[in-house]
């Protein structure tokens, strides 16, 4: 059996961002535990949640203060004062990595504006874990939690429906079906990847059409926290493939870049620099001079 020793040392005054487990308490890192044990004060989104999580890992008397969305501005001023008086302060959310749909931005901004030492200890993240399970072949856009109302979701999806990126959201179980339905109606040609109860006992990953996901969660009531990833539009991908095939044909016919640009621009609604990039890539792929 291997024994791991935790080395607690006096920390320099500053703000230490600590990622907390998103499901399984054992996911907290050893370095995170060392920093938490060494810090003078721990600012928590919920002091009881922090205590309950850490009690499953180790028993310790923590010096806790509250830092949440309802007192964030006032608390940030208090944290700044503590650090200026020589204290080391850890900032933790209930679960996951600070600043990713969790309180922390105001405190972090205030520390940086005042040239306070700040560091972040890597750790659990629902976003990073879900993406590690998703067959990522595109850029991503992360939106955090979706609006509560269906018409606000529809407005958002309408604005981003032509995006070629994978679209990532957090969603609660009681709004999941509505979100999937609005997405189905306003994001054509996409599929959905769902991460549910990540790192917990009933962890589940689903990759399907919106219709199949709606059917599944209509039959089985949604439970747990959800990460939703909407794939790039397959309709757009097919559209792009058609353009690539036409460019290749014109290259084989000996047409110049300028001639190809004009023909593609006339037929399709695409940007000139995008077409030029495709031409150069296809030239390289097909060894056409």
Ordered per-residue pLDDT tens for the chain, 289 residues: 445 567 778 899 999 999 999 989 999 999 999 999 999 999 998 999 999 999 998 888 899 998 887 787 888 999 999 999 999 999 999 999 988 877 788 899 999 999 999 999 999 999 999 999 999 888 999 999 999 999 999 999 988 887 889 999 999 999 999 999 999 999 988 999 999 999 999 999 999 999 999 999 999 999 999 999 999 877 665 667 778 888 888 888 888 888 888 888 777 667 788 788 888 888 877 665 5
From the list 125, 226, 245, 141, the residue with the least C-alpha distance to 190 is 141
**What is the spatial distance between Cα 79 and Cα 152, in angstroms, rounded to a whole number?**
35
pLDDT, tens digit, for every residue of 228-270?
999 987 766 566 777 888 888 888 888 888 888 888 877 766 7
DSSP H helices in the chain = 30-38, 47-55, 72-84, 105-113, 126-133, 150-160, 176-186, 210-219, 234-252, 257-267, 272-286
In the numeric block, which tokens belong to residue 196?
């549910």
- Tell me if the domain spanning 127-232 has CATH number 3.30.950.10: yes
For 188-211, the pLDDT digits (tens) are: 889 999 999 999 999 999 999 999
- The confidence score (pLDDT) of residue 110 equals 93
The answer to whether the beta carbons of residues 226 and 196 sit under 8 Å apart is yes
pTM value is 0.76
Q: Give me the architecture of the 14-124 domain, per CATH.
A: 3-Layer(aba) Sandwich (3.40)
Q: Give the separation between CA 196 and CA 13, rounded to whole angstroms.
A: 38
Contact indicator for 105, 112 with CB cutoff of 8 Å: no
Name the maximum alpha-carbon separation found in the chain: 77
């Amino acid at each position: 059996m291997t024994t791991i020793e935790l080395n607690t040392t006096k920390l320099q005054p500053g703000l230490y961002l600590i990622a907390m487990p998103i499901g399984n308490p054992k996911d907290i890192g050893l370095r995170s535990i060392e920093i938490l044990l060494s810090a003078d004060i721990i600012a928590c989104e919920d002091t009881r949640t922090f205590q309950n999580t850490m009690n499953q890992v180790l028993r310790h008397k923590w010096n806790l203060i509250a830092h949440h969305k309802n007192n964030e501005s006032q608390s940030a001023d208090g944290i700044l004062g503590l650090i200026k008086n020589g204290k080391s302060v850890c900032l933790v959310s209930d679960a996951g990595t600070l600043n990713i749909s969790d309180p922390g931005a105001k405190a972090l901004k205030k520390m940086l504006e005042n040239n306070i030492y700040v560091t972040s200890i890597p750790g659990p993240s629902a976003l990073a874990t879900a993406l590690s399970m998703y067959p990522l072949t595109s850029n991503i856009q992360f939106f955090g939690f979706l609006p509560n109302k269906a018409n606000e979701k529809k407005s958002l999806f309408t604005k981003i429906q032509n995006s070629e990126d994978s679209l990532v959201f957090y969603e609660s179980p009681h709004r999941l079906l509505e979100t999937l339905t609005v997405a189905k109606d306003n994001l054509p040609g996409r599929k959905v990847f769902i991460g549910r109860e990540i790192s917990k006992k009933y962890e589940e990953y689903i990759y399907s059409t919106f219709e199949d996901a709606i059917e599944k969660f209509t039959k089985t009531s949604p439970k747990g926290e959800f990460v939703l990833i909407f794939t790039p539009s397959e309709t757009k991908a097919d559209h792009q493939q058609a353009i690539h095939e036409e460019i290749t044909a014109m290259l084989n016919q000996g047409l110049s870049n300028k001639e190809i640009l004009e023909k593609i621009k006339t037929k399709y609604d695409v940007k000139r620099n995008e077409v030029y990039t495709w031409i150069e890539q296809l030239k390289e792929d097909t060894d056409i001079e």
